[in-house]
Structures are given as structure tokens and as C-alpha cells.
Structure 1
Amino acid sequence: MLPRTRSGRIAYIDLFAGPGRYKNGKSSTPLLILESAIRDSDPRMRQMLVTMFNDKDEENVRSLQKAISEIEGIEKLTYQPQVMNQEIGSELVKRFESVKFVPTLFFVDPWGYKGLSLRLINSVLKDWGCDCIFFFNYNRINMGVNNDYVLTHMEALLGPEIREVLRPKLAGLSPQEREATIIEAISEALVEMGGKYVLPFRFKDERGNRTSHHLIFVSKNVLGYGIMKGIMAKESSEENQGVATFEYTPATQNQPLLFELLRPLDDLKGLLLGKYKGRTMTMREIFEDHNVGTPYVEANYKTVLCQMEEEGLVIANPPASHRRMMNGKRTFADATKVTFI
């Protein structure tokens, strides 16, 4: 479903776009975005989408422009792609800060960390309907945290308290604990900046025993958070009792955001009973109020509420006997009222 916007436009911005095609012939992200928009069954996508791509490498820009011009049906887009050749720095950030963006998905994928900053993310995130996904190169950032030579870059990304707060925390930690602490630090910095909803997704190397990188989603809107959470859950390589792992960093209670994201489904009953005892709410109200900062998606709540109804822990209205079956399971509609006993 396409969002409603006063301007009738939505946007996708990629400031580290790379070439049109990689050496192995695979399409880069900009091409995949444009090709998907052209194929979309809803013609409004072609009418609404505004795209901006940038790369500091002139050869990449030429390659991208050529590849875009060769896309079949590119002329069907009302707004033709804009391709820029700029170094990402303070001047571009100031420009973005002065612009009011239409609803935008902002993708930031630098090779390392140069150019990536909290201020850059917030320059787009500040406006309604704008979300950001950025590539968090953990290995490069892990090496940079204790390196005074790149301290300015680290402070721009993780906040100004690197020396006083983060470095002492990291001393003596195991590699797993160190990673969890750094991911928690960037998550906290994003929340303090105003990015109310943060979701990190971890990628491991081919052997599955080391982290290669993270993609981190940040939004000020619970709807965007819910949509991305569903996508990340679906793309997770593993599930525990139907709850997606999100490939999150192994965490402890010392990292509260990450710890909450690792709770299994068995815990959800107790969490709901503890928070909503004696209250009556709809399923949708429960989900929207509770799911933020947890790994649970809508289907998990419906499953658990059905179980709780069978166990006499909640009273549902309409009751199970009046709700239809689907694929052998009792449905639990958004408007179903739940009273916690």
C-alpha cells in the first residue's frame, strides 16, 4: 500500500550508490529499486517515486547513469532519477537540514564510516514519513573506537562521549560483549537524537561464526517500524518458537535494547500479564503498545493471545467459539477485545 502524501511524491535517496553494475554483472541497489518501481502493479508508484543517487567516484557515476539509461521502461517514471557526484560532508548535511523532505527512505551505505554521522541521518529523519537504513561496518568501527586519529568520525557517529563513556565500558570485554556494547551505543545515540524506533539486523560471514556487518533501521514512526520489523523477521535465517532471531548480536541484560530483542515466545505471556493485568484492550492496541523494542511481530501476539484464552488467562470478545478458523487455527482479529484476568 502506497502512503498518502500531500505532495503526491515519495522518495528514495542513496548517497553511496556505487556503479550501475558490479564486476560480476549483478545490478546495484539503485537499479534494483528502479526496476522494482517500473514493474510495480500499482501505476502510482511510477508516478510518485522520486530518486536521488550519489557517489563521489566519477567512474561509478558514469557507470550508473549509463545503466539507468538502459533500463527497459525507465521513461515510464514521471520523475527521472537524479545522479550526483559529490563528497558527503558538512555542506551536504547543511543543505539537507534546510530542506523539507517528502516521505523518504534514506539508504546510507559507505565503504567504512567516513561521511556517516548522526547529523546526516537526522537531516532527513527530521521530516514526517522519513526513515533511514544504514550500513554499520562493525569491524571498521570496532577498530576506530580506540583510535584517536579517527576520533572525530567516531564522535560524529556514536556521539561525543567516546573517551569518557564508551572506551571505559569496552575495556576487558570479550569480543561478543564488545560487539553488543557498540551496537547498543549506536542504538542509544539514535534514540537520543530523536529516532524513536531502532532495529539492528546482523549479518554473519560465510562460516557463520563472525559478524560481517549490520543494517540498522531508524524511524520516528511506529508504522514504519512495524513494516521493517516484519521484513527483517521474514529474512531472518532462524526462528525460536516462531520468534525471528533477526541475527541480533548475542546480548546480556547489560545491553537492555538488545536483551529485550532476544526474548523467546514463552516469555511473552508473562510480559503481557505483568503489564496489562486487569485491563481491557483490542489486539491491535496491545500489539502497537507492546511490540516496540521486542522481537515479536503481529502473528506472535495473535498466537499467544489464543493460547492465553485457552488457558483462561484472558477473556476474548468475541470468544473463540464465535471466531472463524483459518488453516486449522482460530483467528484473532485486530478489533478483538482482550481482558487480562
Structure 2
Amino acid sequence: MELRDCTGCTPLLLAIKSCATATAITLIKLGADVHALDGASRNILHLAIVSGALLDEKLWEQLTKHGLFHLLVEEKDEFGCTALHYATKGCRPNLTMSLVDLGANCTAQNNERETPLHLAAHSGCLRTCESLLRTAHGLWAMNTPDARGRLPLHIAALNGHARLVRLLITKGSSFRRCQKGGTPLHLAAKTGCLETCRVIHEANSQIIDVKDFRGMTALHYAAKKNHSEVLEYLLQMGAKIEPDYNGIYFVTMALRKGNLKAAHVIAVSSRWDEIFDILSQTDQCPFEGFIREVPTLCSIAMDRYVTESGLPNTPSYEVNYDFKLLQPKADASDQALRSPLRKLLLMIEFGRNELIIHPLCSALLR
């Protein structure tokens, strides 16, 4: 009855793993070793949760009889996971609460130093997290970092679970940085979940300009990952236009990656003038980037600088041109940037003939 197969399972473990609960109960009654472990050091409680066998009330009664449950519930497998880890990972709120009520430890950490709440946050199971957070140990786990310094809030943000993020914030989760300096907003921007970004920013508006250990803000990640909705939101919320520690701005990250959606958000942004003024006299000029990488956006940018006044076909009608997009500032420090025809020459170099005939370019050449 204690012989093992190639996976290290005894007949009892195999019955549990196969969800053959009647067979498992019979084997237990016949004296099968209830403390046997499979090849991954998982006991019958681990396997019963993973396989779903524990949904059988008769098996549950058998495992909780004679204190057997209390001997198994805190045992860890080779990954350091307890039964509660598997219950929360599998998004089983009722089972989670039953395990907690019977003494399962909410602060137990696996080999990655993840608590059951970390795994519940990864799965995004709101009810499971609510069950854990009703306990004092669950609240403690909420601000316990894993091996990478991530709280359950970081995990929920990274996976785009906005409702869970709101719950954790409401319960008092810290906004601390993880091991690489990332905040929950950094991770939400990487994922591209607009609602998650909104929830985090509304709870902590100062977090928008926090830099990670590379000097990157959430704005950088939204541009780099081509998450246009998040990028637009961060710009609307007043995110600062600053470089990372390598001197790279978010605009450049979007263009280098060929991120058309992100570049379009930049071109039509109400903050275009601010972005252009900051970068126009650098080698990261957004308009020059458009010429090189996404010429279709150049017309959008140039149209901003052509305005009409009066009614067409009347003496008062006139077209006004603002050439600051094409002409450098007189105080530009770099001689190459002071070239009066730099942007037009760039259009010619890259064969952007359709841009040369734009009304703004034509007016400048006249």
C-alpha cells in the first residue's frame, strides 16, 4: 500500500491526485500513510486542493478528523508552499476561509517569500483576498515583501486587477518601491491597465513622477510599451517631462520602439508645445523623430502651426504661419541645431517629399 510510482506517489496520493475520493477515503481507513509525500514533497492536503478532491465533503471530514488536518496544514512542499498557498492560487475563497478558520497561517512564505495573499493577488481573486484581509495575519501579509520586494499591491497592479488594487489601497497597503525601485504605478503602466493606473494615481497623486532605479517614471514605461491610453492619461494628469538616468525622454523611447499609437498620442497631446519646447534643441526633438520614424504624424504637428482668421473669400481672410516648429532658436548651443533648414534638409534626406509641399514648409521657403 506504500509502494510508489515513477512520480513518487503512493496509491493514496495517486487517488487524491486523480480526484478518486472514495478510493482515497477507503485507503485512509485501511491505514495508508497519510503523511506520505510525492516527488515534489506535496502531502495529501496539497494534492487534494490542487486536484479539487477536497470539494468532497466526506474527504474533508476524513482529513479534519483526529487532528490530522492540523498536522498537514503547515507542511511545505519543495517550493515552500503550504496548503493555503495553493488554495489562494487556485482562487478558492470558501476553501481559503475554511483553512484560515482551522488555523492556516496567512503569513507563511514560500521559497520566493510570497505569502498566500501574494498568490491571490496574482490570480486577481477579489473574494479570496477579502477573506484573507479579514484576519490580522492577512493585514500583516499585505505589507510583507516577497523576494523581489513586491507587495501584494505590486502584484495586483502588474496583473491589471484594478478592483483588487482598490481593495488593497483601502485596507492601507503601503506604496513602497520594490527591489528595482518600481512603484505600483510603474508596474501598472508596464501592463497598460488604464483603470489600475487611475486607481493608484487617485489614491496617491505624488507617485506619478517617482523614478525607479533607472530613472524611469510611469510615463517612460507607458511610451516604451506602446500603451497609448495610459500615456494619454499620465500626460493629462501632469506627468513631468524628464529624462531617465541615461538622458532618454519618453518620446524617444516611443519612437525607437516604433510605437505608432504612443507617438500619435504625443502628436495630438494638449501638451505638445511644452514637449516640443523642452526637446526641440536636443537630439531628441520629437518633430525630427517623426520625420525619421513616423512621417505620417508630421502633418498633424505642422497643422498646429497654420491658423486661419476671417471668412474665406473675404478681404479679412488670412492664413497665419508660426515657423517655430521648423526654425531653431537663435540661442541653440549646438551649431548643427542652429541650421535654419535643418528640418527641411532632414525631410529631403529621408525622402519625405510629401512633407516639403505642406503649407507650412512652402510658406517658409517663400
Name the TM-score class by shorter chain. Answer: 0.3 to 0.5
**Structure 1 or 2: more helix by fraction:** 2
**Structure 1 or 2: more strand by fraction:** 1
TM-score by length of 1: 0.33
TM-score by length of 2: 0.31
The one of the two structures with greater contact order (alpha-carbon pairs below 8 A, sep at least 6) is 1
